[in-house]
Structure 1
Amino acid sequence: MLTLLAFLLAIGVLVTFHELGHFLVARWCGVKVLRFAVGFGSPLFSRYWRGTEWVICPVPLGGYVRMLDEREGPVDPSELDRAFNRQPVLKRMAIVAAGPLANLLLAVLIYWVVVAQGVTEIRPAVGMVVKESPAAMAGFQAGDRIASLDGAPVENWQAVRLALAERLGGAMAGPAMRFEVVTAAGAKATRTLDLARDGKRFAADLASGNIGISPVRLLPVIGAVDPEGAAARAGLKEGDRLLAVDGKPLSDWNDWVEIIRNSPGKPLTIRIERKGAPQDVLVRPAGVPGEFGYVGRIGAAPQSDEAWMRSISYTRQYDAGAAAIEALRKTGDTAWMSLRFLGRMLIGQASLDNLSGPLTIAAVAGQTARQGWTSYLEFMALISISIGVLNLLPIPVLDGGHLMYYTAELIKGKPLSERAQLMGQRIGFALLASLMAFALLNDISRLFGG
């Protein structure tokens, strides 16, 4: 229920803000707005106010503003000057662009509110390294603190993520990446990620900017137990410290995960420490389908090292002016990264598997809502930027497609032919429908393990 409500609230706010952009600029330009609708389908709510019908519909995945237009029906001669199609091309461009720009403005406002409260930053410290990952092959070790990437200093973990996403968005082979780090012992060292060697082997991970490092440090301690899983049936409890499996000592949570995954259906003797006393527990991991056959799973989650996280976290405070500048920067950086990612998908350097649809967005809405209002607001800002950037793309059907038509009209001195516009609309609709179908298939695959 929380996931559904969080999703509906986010989409409702973002769609309303988008359509308000069109509405306000249309009214400012003297265009009559006949209907302002949020959602699609038969109206659930309808009310006339100041010459406009305000409508809420049951399907919340979009909305529209219907303006007076001779192309959609007869217009009273006394109102011809208020028809959209009679406006100068620059006014029409302003009305169309206002929707996506409103989404970008909303992102700036949200980030401003979040940043003004103070931002918790995480120093660029490596909490753990995934075994047999690009980072492990580059020599990364837990405790490394990243000072720079390819010569560019990094101040926090967010800067590391952005730099990796920017550099690895296509997961293509290329020049090596050099990380200057300070080790846990205080020594300076260089970690070199060889993309020519690792690009193909780790293509899927690299495409999403994942090289196998995380600031989080997981303890070999049970943090949560699925009541329906093998761990619960074996008697494992929250707080149990994992010491060994079949007599083999465990050094960290990664060791534990690897053993469990490689032991579907196999009985394992687990030595644990509970309330200071060691004891043995017999666990038989369930076998679940994986990419290359069955993998083991017991339904237990780890406990994070809170002391470590406190040691690498700090709060940065901003005054109102600095917060506004930071909000503009975050919005610009995110929008630019979205454009670059879309460009890489277009030329085949980034996988279409990274596309997400409404199911994934709903799931993330629920997750961020559970984490608190700050995470939820940042999620809304990210989706608002995505909506703004997507709608500005020069694809017929989208706002950017109409802007493309109007730009051609400015250059030619007259509108494109109806045939050309209709052909573009058909192509744009087919392209958009294909992308939406692909995103929905990705959602289903992620949610149901396909």
Structure 2
Amino acid sequence: MFIDLLAQFLPLAATDEAGVLTFLATQVWQWGLVALGIGLVIFVHELGHFVAAKSFGVKCEKFYVGFDVPIQIGPIKFPRTLGKFQYGETEYGIGIIPLGGYVKMLGQDDDPRKAEEEAKRIRMKQDAAEADDESDDAAPEKLDPRSFPAKAVWQRMIIISAGVVMNLITGVLFAAIAYGYGVTYNPSIIGGVTPGGPAWQAGIEPGGQVVSVGGLTDDQMHFREMRMAILTEGLDNPEKPISLAIRYDEGVRKYNLKTASHPENADVRMIGIVSPTSLEFSSKTVAMPGSIAATVLSDEDAGAKIVAYDGKKVNNDLIVPSTPFFNYLYSNPTKTISLTLERVDGSTHQVDLPPQQAKMLGARWAISPITGLVDEGVAAKAGVQIGDVITAINGDTEIDAYKLPLELISAKEPITMTLQRGEGEEARTIEVELTPQDALQTHAPDSQISGEIAINRFGFSFRPLPTVASVLPNLLADDAANSELELQPGDEIQEIRLITPDSELLSPLPNPEFEPLVAQLREGWEKDGPTPWGSLIETIQYLPEGTQLQVLATRSPKGRVIETQVTVQQDDRVWFERGLGLTASESIQRATSVTDALSLGLREAERRLRDVFRFLRMATQGRVKMRHVGGPLAIMDLAKQEAERGISPQLLFLTMLSMNLAILNFLPIPALDGGHMMFLIAEAIRGKKLNEQLEMRLTMAGVLMILLLMVVVFANDILRLL
């Protein structure tokens, strides 16, 4: 039986010889685990067919993991197998093409070209006496009793379905073993909310744990499960709100949120919940290179925990102990904060963490009209509307995108905000008084994802624009002639390109998340591209001072194009992030007994099955794009990532793969197990086999369909890597 082609839907430098050998050994070991894991899933599938066939007396001529097809390129002929041996009447082997496996039974072959040959092989010759007794026309066809077609329909159905059943059973066992070891996961705890996103607009506060989303309820919900539920629910019913239950220290709060498109990928749905960061430093990177934290922390602080800050002890009894600390950190960006650290050896010591100086391009940036409001928030209650333009704060008209959050993030007194509403002749100026309210600020107010900046105390958000609001004195030209070639207030950036060579940049970047943005800067970031301006300003914080960028801007009123160079330089303002190398918040879910492990394994398998069915349903409705589909290369890459994380993640990956193979291999496509089952059902209903020629043509169509699908998903995998 063919297994379903491995779920087609679905710089490290060493400085010495020992380092090279260690690296190579690690890679070989990890890829070996990948091959072993995927091979095991294929093996148990084929073992199901094999054992069922043997139980009913069917002769099995081959048992292969991988396909042993002949491959020849010009005069070069490749071996068909990586190894094989004969035991009894069966040949066992590993095929050269690792895209599935098969059991070759007497009288059965999925290759339509060999169907007629197989049919002839199993027809038994009649002796002379039988030939005299019965005419040729009346003589019933006799088949080899050990052939697959000679068995009763119900027996063949069991043989065909046995592979899928084995995948379902072993999928449960893989997950049960994983939970027996203990599964490390990121809990579905709200570390923060994305500025301007649905969760932010609904006023959802950090510090709670999601225990129910849509139809999924779990007191120990994984963040990955929550995110997947939101994604699939959003894709399935983009206009329908998702129910959400969040447990806080004082009780459960319920919400109904409509998902929003991801700013950089409209097909991805989100509500804007960010996972929390713990108070434990990484054992590898205590602080981001070049940050203020790197000047006060040392390698001895690797793995240390923050146990107090400015004399306030961390309360570990809270659902999210880190919430008060991050609220304090981001609400006091200009303050030096004293941290008490407990190192891995049990000793404690204090460090003073000064503010982080920002890096800019010698200019201030304009702000957009107000883009979002918190429901029942301060601004909304005061009558502020989306689209209003802020022209002054307490009479100060010098407004820029990164000055505003610094002024308002820790405001305790009411402010007067002057707004312009409407355009042209309908434009009017209004003033509102906003009294700040307590609101947790557990993340920096700017969002790399949405590109928005949110002032939680006042409940409104806006975007920084690539429009120059003002120019710093040291960037102003000395004479009028040169001023025409330099940036001026009102200039609108159209493209910005990194021109400093890579050898002069930090390599690798302190935060790998920004490597694609630096690559985009190298190619040329355009104003109307998918990446928001705020992400570029944040990326600049990771570039060394003196980095040169080429800028193309347009100048009103005639739209004159200005080409100039700007330099990354230290600003007199501070940046919210200080470079602390803290790890993500993690928990361990471990089964307490064999029964508990099996229960958790069954739950995991059920969820993965539900994912597959939902994916297939959305695919038939046209809701799934090719970018969502992964082929063999994507599967191998994902398998390696899970193998690097440890035995439990790899076992959970094998559960997911087993469920995919079980369902996809049982689709009613000829040449797959599901296609064979459809033929058998038709035979059971009719009381006789289908016409062999019709069955052969349908099987050929199924093979061609699978081959075409393989070409598409392989091409999709390759394009994704380019």
> Could you say if the C-alpha distance between residues 59 and 254 of structure 1 is closer, same or farther in structure 2, counting changes exceeding 3 Å?
farther
Query: Which residue of 2 is the match for residue 155 of structure 1?
Result: 219
**1:325 counterpart SS class:** helix
Task: Give the distance between the partners of 2:447 and 2:282, measured in 1 at CA.
Answer: 11
Question: What does residue range 172-183 of structure 1 map to in structure 2 within 5 Å?
Answer: 172-182=237-247
Consecutive unaligned residues of structure 2, counting only runs of 5 or more, are: 1-26, 70-79, 109-114, 126-142, 296-352, 361-401, 410-440, 452-463, 467-494, 501-516, 544-576
Query: Which residue of 2 is the match for residue 211 of structure 1?
Result: 271
Deviation larger for 394-403 or 65-74: 65-74
Rg bigger for which structure? 2
**1:36 counterpart SS class:** strand
Kept after mapping to 2: 8 A contact 1:222/1:238: no
Question: What does residue range 74-89 of structure 1 map to in structure 2 within 5 Å?
Answer: 74-75=121-122, 77=124, 80-89=144-153
Shift of 1:407: 0.8
Kindly provide the amino acid, as one letter, of the partner of residue 680 in structure 2.
Y
**Which of 346, 358, 368 does residue 245 from structure 1 map onto?**
358
Task: Give the distance between the partners of 1:347 and 1:358, measured in 2 at CA.
Answer: 24
Kindly provide the amino acid, as one letter, of the partner of residue 267 in structure 2.
A
Query: Which residue of 1 is the match for residue 156 of structure 2?
Result: 92
Q: How many residues align?
A: 415
> Could you say if the C-alpha distance between residues 406 and 151 of structure 1 is closer, same or farther in structure 2, counting changes exceeding 3 Å?
closer
Kept after mapping to 2: 8 A contact 1:216/1:304: no
Which TM-score applies when normalising by structure 1? 0.78
Shift of 1:51: 1.1
Task: Give the distance between the partners of 2:231 and 2:530, measured in 1 at CA.
Answer: 31
Kept after mapping to 2: 8 A contact 1:124/1:154: no
Extract structure 1 runs of 4+ deviating beyond 6 A: 199-202, 221-225, 258-263, 298-304
Q: Deviations over 1:359-406 (max 9, x none)?
A: 111111111111111111111221121111110111112111111111
Kept after mapping to 1: 8 A contact 2:591/2:600: no
Kindly provide the amino acid, as one letter, of the partner of residue 66 in structure 1.
K
**2:63 counterpart SS class:** strand
> Could you say if the C-alpha distance between residues 416 and 135 of structure 1 is closer, same or farther in structure 2, counting changes exceeding 3 Å?
farther
Task: Give the distance between the partners of 2:240 and 2:203, measured in 1 at CA.
Answer: 17
Matching of residue 36 in structure 1 with residue 35 in structure 2: no
Query: Which residue of 2 is the match for residue 387 of structure 1?
Result: 661
Kept after mapping to 2: 8 A contact 1:223/1:238: no
Q: Deviations over 1:66-105 (max 9, x none)?
A: 1111752524849811011111111111111111221222
Shift of 1:246: 3.6
Kindly provide the amino acid, as one letter, of the partner of residue 57 in structure 1.
G
Kept after mapping to 1: 8 A contact 2:235/2:267: no
Query: Which residue of 2 is the match for residue 281 of structure 1?
Result: none
> Could you say if the C-alpha distance between residues 406 and 137 of structure 1 is closer, same or farther in structure 2, counting changes exceeding 3 Å?
farther
Kindly provide the amino acid, as one letter, of the partner of residue 243 in structure 1.
Q
**2:100 counterpart SS class:** strand
Kept after mapping to 2: 8 A contact 1:121/1:157: no
Consecutive unaligned residues of structure 1, counting only runs of 5 or more, are: 226-230, 269-283
Kept after mapping to 1: 8 A contact 2:231/2:268: no
Cα RMSD between the aligned structures? 4.0
**2:245 counterpart SS class:** strand
**2:639 counterpart SS class:** helix
Question: What does residue range 9-88 of structure 1 map to in structure 2 within 5 Å?
Answer: 9-40=36-67, 41=69, 42-69=80-107, 71=115, 72=118, 74-75=121-122, 77=124, 80-88=144-152
Kept after mapping to 1: 8 A contact 2:612/2:663: yes
Query: Which residue of 1 is the match for residue 692 of structure 2?
Result: 418
Query: Which residue of 1 is the match for residue 594 of structure 2?
Result: 320
Task: Give the distance between the partners of 2:444 and 2:168, measured in 1 at CA.
Answer: 41
Kept after mapping to 1: 8 A contact 2:230/2:242: no
> Could you say if the C-alpha distance between residues 100 and 288 of structure 1 is closer, same or farther in structure 2, counting changes exceeding 3 Å?
farther
Task: Give the distance between the partners of 1:161 and 1:142, measured in 2 at CA.
Answer: 16
Shift of 1:13: 1.5
Shift of 1:131: 3.5
> Could you say if the C-alpha distance between residues 407 and 76 of structure 1 is closer, same or farther in structure 2, counting changes exceeding 3 Å?
closer
**Which of 581, 602, 606 does residue 332 from structure 1 map onto?**
606
Kindly provide the amino acid, as one letter, of the partner of residue 142 in structure 1.
P
